[in-house]
Each structure stands twice: as C-alpha cells, then as structure tokens.
Amino acid sequence: MKYKITIAVALIASVLFPLCLPVTATHTETKEYRWFINKTTDQKPPPEHEYKFIEKYGGYYVDRKAKGSDKVIYLTFDAGYENGNCALILDVMKKHDVSSAWFILDNLLYRNMDLIDRLIAEGHEVCNHTAKHPNMAKITDKELFAENLAKLETLYKEKTGQDMAKYYRPPSGTFSELNMRHAQELGYKTVFWSMAYADWDNNKQPCPDASFARIMQHTHNGMILLLHPTSATNAAILDRLISAWKAEGYRFGTMAELCA
C-alpha cells in the first residue's frame, strides 16, 4: 500500500507541477541571441563559437584566413554620435595611416556630416548599424528588417551621393538566425567581433592603462576589435595601441578584405 501511495503522489505532482520537470532549450530561426566572446590570452583566436551557424549566412567574428606571419587586425567602431572623441580618434588613425570600419546610426548623418565627410575622405569604411538601434531580433518580418537597413542606406546616399558599404552589425549584438538569413538575402555581410571591452559608458570610463593592457593581452591574429569612438579612454590609448600592434608586426585590414 505504501508504494501505491508513493506512485499516486508522484503522478499527481507531475500533473500539478509540470514546470518542475527539466526543460531542454531548442534552437529556432527566431530565437534571440546576444553575441558574446570567449577571450583567450595566448594570442590565439577564440575557439569555435557556439553560434557558428552565423557563418552559414555570411557572418564573421574573426578572420579565419589570418595565419602565420601575415598578422592582421580589423579595427571597427560602433558610432551613434560625436562628443569630441571621434575626431581625436580619427586624428590618431590619420597619424598612423590606418583605416577602419565605422558602423553608424542616422544621428551622425543628421548632426555630424563633417565627421562623415572626413571618414570618407580619409579612407574609412562607413557601414550599417541601422538607423535607430532597435533590437533586430524582435523583427521577424523581412520587409521591416530590410526597412531598418534601407532607411540608413537611403539617408547616406542622399547626404553623400555614395552607396553605403554592405556590412551590417546588429545593434547591441542582438540577433536571430532569421535576421542572419534576411541580411544575407539583402546582400549584407554581418560582422560581429572577437574582442571588445566595457568602453561604452561615458560616465564610467575604464582606466586607460588597465584598458591598454587588457586589449593587448587579448590581441590575436585575425582579431575584429569592437570599440566605441565616444570613449575618452579609447581616445587616450589608441595611439599607444596602434604603435604596439605595429611593433608586433600587425597590419590593419578592411571589411572588404575580411569578407572577400
């Protein structure tokens, strides 16, 4: 009788409390992901990412072609506005004759065309970060997804007379597999990163010396480095960083090279 009661209690519990049972997470095309990186400290690229499916849709987070003595770094900036530090960073880039990719929002095109003109004149790639920085993983309709990229493309064409480069970075690194497929069908390469650090809060800037050491510690061949050009710390250490990278034999690649 004791065993019958135990079995009965177990059956009732399974009906009344189904959430107590283990749930296995499943991947779907619309599942929301937030990009992250597994840093290494031995100057080797990060291990194969668990979101490797991005590569099936023309997605990049490191240059897998970079090998041996041909050491390359891709400098990328996510830029939504100017606070004086963007210009300082461009001064450093010009001093070292280094190009980079800037993933911009429409605010720069409305308020800082002098900065956009300078990016173009000095050979930087101007790329798509969407017009208004929404959570793109929430967008499942292809037309609406395309509209978020097209608004920036159209404005850029109106302001510069040029076509925007077909490289896209999801705002906040938030995306879904469906987003990746839509971007590919629209002719875009989606570019994530293999190194970044907490540089975006202007009211809580990290220590320059510690940030320099952290970035150098995690530098690796084929690195796609994400920086925010509004960061006072980045403006303060970029000259040292580029000098140190050059001393170690690194050169600086473009999105066109990465995605060739």
**Which residues are catalytic, by number?**
78, 228
Ranges of beta strands (E only) in 121-243 are: 125-128, 167-168, 174-175, 189-191, 223-227
CA 168 to the chain's CA centroid: 9
Distance CA 37, CA 49 (A): 8
Name the residue type at position 82. E
Tell me which residue has tokens 């779907």: 28
Distance CA 210, CA 246 (A): 20
Closest CA to 92 of 51, 62, 124: 124
Closest CA to 227 of 213, 216, 219, 238: 238
- Asked if residue 225 lies in contact with residue 75, where contact means CB atoms within 8 angstroms, the answer is yes
